[in-house]
């Protein structure tokens, strides 16, 4: 089988761990080659490997969706929540077919200014104030208006993104196969607003109250300027990403190992 790999950090090209993994994959009979765009994906390719940390995985995920390939994250970064697999364990697992493929939902935003079309994200869509003035964010869920969020911004996260920006902003943790979207305010000024979990078939409309001309929008690690009079429409795209999970990996284990969930001296023997 052919394997493409995505490597964003050029300093890793000569990293002994990367070279060792490429050698191991070649010895296991895989035809491995680098790719940074869908035009470079060769016919017969069965999987995309992401070499790096979670930021690299987000960039590689966009390529995987465009090329309709399952993606495996190999951790050469720090946290490694999405790119959870150690390079030493990848070649044997793939050669023994000790893996499964899980579907992950994405979130899509349309209504961007400047001619930008709809954008997809694995973790979250986020709008943030561009200037010093507080941002008012009006949100409708299936045409039902929520109270205005007065905050630095607001994000709409997938269940996969529940452990990313949304978590640091006070959002809940959701299992990755939960069919939900999470609406989370960023540094809200009104104390009586909280994150809201909605079904993933909801249509979410976002409008702004701002004295500044522009609002900054991020779709994972991509940035866009949005006019403050824009109306954004956010929807889920269920099952759009295929993620390769090696045998033995599980979400609860990742929470414990990487986010130190339950990190209490009373739980050390569990």
3-state DSSP percent of the chain in helix, strand and coil, to 5: 20, 40, 40
DSSP state of 62: H
The first and second tokens of residue 241, run together, are: 């990403």
| Options 9, 15, 31, 54, the catalytic residue | 54
DSSP state of 256: H
Q: Distance between CA 236 and CA 232 in Å, rounded?
A: 13
Upper half-sphere CA count for residue 182 (Cβ side, 13 Å): 29
Q: Distance between CA 38 and CA 89 in Å, rounded?
A: 27
Quick one: CA dihedral 115, 116, 118, 124, positive or negative?
negative
Is 54 catalytic? The answer is yes
The first and second tokens of residue 57, run together, are: 């995985």
The first and second tokens of residue 125, run together, are: 């869509």
Q: Distance between CA 71 and CA 46 in Å, rounded?
A: 9
Three-state secondary structure along 184-214? EEECCCCCCCCCEEEECCCCEEEEEECCCCE
The residues annotated as belonging to the active site are 54
């Amino acid at each position: 089988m052919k394997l493409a790999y995505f490597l964003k950090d050029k300093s890793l090209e000569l990293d002994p761990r990367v070279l060792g993994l490429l050698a191991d994959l070649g010895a296991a009979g895989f035809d491995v080659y680098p790719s940074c765009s869908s035009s470079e994906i060769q016919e017969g390719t069965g999987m995309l490997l992401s070499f790096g940390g979670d930021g690299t995985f987000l960039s590689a995920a966009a390529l995987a969706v465009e090329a309709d390939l399952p993606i495996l994250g190999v951790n050469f970064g720090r946290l490694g929540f999405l790119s959870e697999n150690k390079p030493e364990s990848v070649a044997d697992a793939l050669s023994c077919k000790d893996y499964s493929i899980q579907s992950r939902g994405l979130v899509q935003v349309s209504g961007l200014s400047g001619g930008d079309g709809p954008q997809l994200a694995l973790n979250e869509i986020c709008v943030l104030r561009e200037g010093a003035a507080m941002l008012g964010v009006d949100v409708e869920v299936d045409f039902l208006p929520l109270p205005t969020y007065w905050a630095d911004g607001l994000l709409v996260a997938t269940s996969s993104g529940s452990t990313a920006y949304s978590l640091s902003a006070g959002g809940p943790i959701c299992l990755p196969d939960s069919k939900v979207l999470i609406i989370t305010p960023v540094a809200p000024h009104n104390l009586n607003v909280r994150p809201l979990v909605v079904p993933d078939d909801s249509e979410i409309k976002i409008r702004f109250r701002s004295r500044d001309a522009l609002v900054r929008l991020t779709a994972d690690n991509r940035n866009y300027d949005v006019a403050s009079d824009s109306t954004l429409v956010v929807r889920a795209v269920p099952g759009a990403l295929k993620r390769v999970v090696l045998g033995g990996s599980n979400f609860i284990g990742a929470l414990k190992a990487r986010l130190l969930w339950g990190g209490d001296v009373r739980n050390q023997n569990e």
